[in-house]
């Protein structure tokens, strides 16, 4: 158990270390590094047995794929929201956004039920918490990275002015 935890933490540390490098590599590579860190983070938080992991991850990955499809649809619709809309079109768009959010909620409910056949209710709750914790962690890392980048540019600007 300790060995598995240490391995997951090491993987997460290596992944984040690489992700935090200046330039961060191509976008797809960065996305893959975040995905690897997310898998390690969730696995550690849920304390999955090998048998559970074998059944859990295909279900979870399927859920994530469907979530991404819905979110892409929402993003595409939001692009249209920037254009000049009539009141009627704006009202229709509001209803469409609400429908998409409801679809995502229904999707999460259905997949939670499927997951309960593989992991415990406590683990499903831990999953919900772990997803939010990881999301917050990624946001914090991005903020820090952006802040460091700005400081570097400001420092470079000061040196050029001297």
Tell me: pLDDT of 35 over 50.
Answer: yes
Alpha helices in 47-120 (DSSP H): 50-81, 87-115
pLDDT of residue 36: 93
Average of pLDDT values for 73-85?
73
Q: What is the pTM of this model?
A: 0.69
Average of pLDDT values for 75-84?
70
pLDDT of residue 56: 97
How many angstroms separate the CA atoms of 129 and 42, rounded? 10
Helix (H, G, I), strand (E, B) or coil at 48: coil
Per-residue confidence at 57, pLDDT binned at 50, 70, 90?
very high
Q: Percent of the chain beyond pLDDT 70?
A: 75
pLDDT of residue 82: 61
Residue among 62, 45, 28, 70 nearest 137 (CA) = 45
Q: Helix-strand-coil percent breakdown of the chain, rounded to 5?
A: 85, 0, 15
pLDDT of residue 17: 47
pLDDT of residue 73: 83
Q: What is the pLDDT of residues 93-147, one digit of tens each?
A: 889 889 999 999 999 999 999 999 999 999 999 999 999 999 999 999 989 988 8
Higher pLDDT, 122 or 7: 122
How many angstroms separate the CA atoms of 90 and 134, rounded? 34
Q: What is the pLDDT of residues 36-54, one digit of tens each?
A: 999 999 999 999 999 999 9
Residue with tokens 């914790």: 133
How many angstroms separate the CA atoms of 71 and 76, rounded? 9
pLDDT of residue 8: 46
Tell me: pLDDT of 3 over 50.
Answer: no
How many angstroms separate the CA atoms of 145 and 4, rounded? 29
């Amino acid at each position: 158990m300790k060995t598995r935890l240490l391995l997951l933490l090491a993987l997460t540390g290596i992944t984040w270390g690489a992700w935090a490098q200046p330039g961060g590599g191509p976008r797809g590579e960065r996305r893959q590094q975040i995905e690897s860190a997310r898998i390690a983070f969730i696995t550690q938080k849920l304390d999955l047995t090998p048998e559970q992991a074998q059944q859990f991850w295909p279900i979870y990955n399927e859920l994530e794929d469907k979530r991404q499809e819905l979110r892409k649809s929402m993003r595409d619709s939001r692009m249209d929201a920037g254009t000049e809309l009539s009141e009627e079109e704006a009202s229709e768009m509001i209803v469409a956004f609400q429908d998409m959010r409801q679809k995502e909620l229904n999707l999460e409910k259905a997949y939670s039920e499927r997951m309960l056949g593989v992991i415990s209710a406590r683990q499903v709750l831990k999953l919900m918490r772990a997803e939010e914790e990881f999301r917050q962690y990624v946001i914090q890392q991005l903020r820090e990275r952006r802040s460091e980048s700005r400081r570097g540019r400001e420092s470079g600007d000061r040196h050029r002015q001297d």
